[in-house]
Amino acid sequence: MPIHLRCERLRVLGLITNRISSIFTEALIIEGQFPASMRDWFAARTKRLQISGIRKMFEMAGPDSINLGLGELDFQPSEKAMNALAEAVKAGYNRYGPTRGIPELRTVLAERLTRYRPDVEMENIIITAGGTQGLMVTAMTLFDHGDEVLTPDPGFVIYQPHVIMCGATPLRYSLKFENDFQPNPDEIQELITPRTKAIIINSPNNPTSGILTPETIKALRDIAVDNEMVIISDEVYDEIIFEGEHHSMLNPDYDNVVYVNSFSKTFAVTGWRLGYLASSKYMVNQLAKIQYYNIACPPTPLQKAIYEVMKAPTNMIHERVGELTKRRDAIVKRCNDIPGFSCLKPNGAFYVFPSFDQDISSEDFAMELVKNNLICAPGSAFGKGGEGHLRFSFANSLENIEKGMDIVEKVARGIPRKK
Ligand SMILES: Cc1ncc(COP(=O)(O)O)c(C=O)c1O
């Protein structure tokens, strides 16, 4: 075939291929995010993800809005922590450190975790750039295309995206108000297939503030053992407990647990981006491989500062639990006084997750509140199971909680209730 004809055939073929790929792109992109005429650079995983429903509320909010939407304490870190950070920087802790984190911090953390599992050692710990990155490195270490991962619904907004980013499939198990937001082991058992590799659990829970009972923990562990599944246990609120004690998944009875924690909430240092994982040594060795290629090492001066705070037996959050308890009691009462609202009293974390019977979706309800200068998170941002709920954080002052709940009450009274 003459060269010019061959070129023409290739050109036509190219046009057809481009057209097909742009039809695909048009179907997948969220309108307005990037011009449809643009070359399709974005990976399928990027297009499968949506912007978090919580972010949307922040973007719409006015500058004077009261914020009951944030999972972040309104306290500053302790003087000690701030001074320790400044000193660490001045003392030269500004270089790369070990991928798994500085040994002195890992040793202190191992000691702390012996309350759950007496044999934890420094080698069982890996420091991460916050709980978020700890969860991501765990997902990348474990999940492949074709795997299924059980995730809570409603559940913290990053679990499902992490599974999707690894090419695996999230399966949702429900946390129901009428069941005190405890997972139902029978439902979980039914969801499991030979492809189900892991279950993500979270206690105390965001958004429900539910706390797993020892019975549920045992039932979930038995299911994981029987099905050779990994348990990824997000316990970033394990120090924020109002009554009773926290029950951890980290336990000598099962090795295949990845325990996830963070300094964000406990030390009021969300912006420092530091957390940690604990697991069996063989799991940590695999996590460390991915961690190296992901962030090389966690931030050195921040680790040193947290170590300085943790080596003394003080715990900033315990000193604040009294204040948080007052806020919790105030917000629960205010929620239960609103016609159509029903709110459980949380025993940990700092969220309430009331149900409502107003005839409106949680997203539209939250939008109405934003228009009235109150930011909260719609229940649907945490999964289908969150519909019919709103999440309010009480990590804000009593005064702001009262003002915020005045707005909720006024808006709620203006919306017709379901028959
Ligand atoms: C349940 C849960 N896990 C993990 C995180 C991540 O925390 P960070 O990345 O700040 O350590 C959060 C933050 O809100 C959370 O609520």
Q: Give the CA count within 13 Å in the CB-facing half-sphere of 162.
A: 25
β-pair type (355-356, 341-342): antiparallel
**Quick one: CA dihedral 157, 197, 276, 259, positive or negative?**
positive
- Give the model confidence (pLDDT) of 118-151 as tens digits: 999 999 999 999 999 999 999 999 999 999 999 9
Task: Count the helices and strands in the chain (H runs, E runs).
Answer: 14, 14
| CB of 132 shorter than 6 A to ligand 1 | yes
pLDDT score at 243: 86
Residue ranges matching CATH 3.40.640.10 in the chain: 91-311
pLDDT score at 50: 82
Nearest atom of ligand 1 to the alpha carbon of 71: 14
| CB of 97 shorter than 6 A to ligand 1 | no
β-pair type (390-393, 377-378): antiparallel
β-pair type (257-262, 275-278): antiparallel
- CB 169, CB 148: distance < 8 Å: yes
- CATH of span 91-311: 3.40.640.10
In the chain, % of residues over pLDDT 70 = 90
| CB of 216 shorter than 6 A to ligand 1 | no
Entry pTM = 0.90
- CB 68, CB 350: distance < 8 Å: no
3-state SS record for 193-230: CCCEEEEEEECCCCCCCCCCCHHHHHHHHHHHHHCCCE
For the chain, list residues with pLDDT below 70.
1-37, 313-316
Please name which of 74, 61, 75 lies closest in space to residue 376, comparing C-alpha atoms.
61
What is the Å distance from ligand 1's center to 24 Cα?
34
What is the Å distance from ligand 1's center to 9 Cα?
54
pLDDT score at 400: 96
Taking CA atoms only, the protein residue closest to ligand 1 atom 1 is 206
pLDDT score at 44: 87
Can you list the positions of beta strands (E) in 169-322?
169-174, 196-202, 230-234, 257-262, 275-278
User: Which of 246, 265, 295 gets mutated to test ligand 1 (max ligand atoms within 8 A of its CB)?
Assistant: 265
Q: CA-CA distances (angstroms) from residue 294 to 99, 128, 140, 384? A: 10, 10, 10, 32
Residue ranges matching CATH 3.90.1150.10 in the chain: 53-70+316-413
CATH superfamily of 53-70+316-413: Aspartate Aminotransferase, domain 1 (3.90.1150.10)
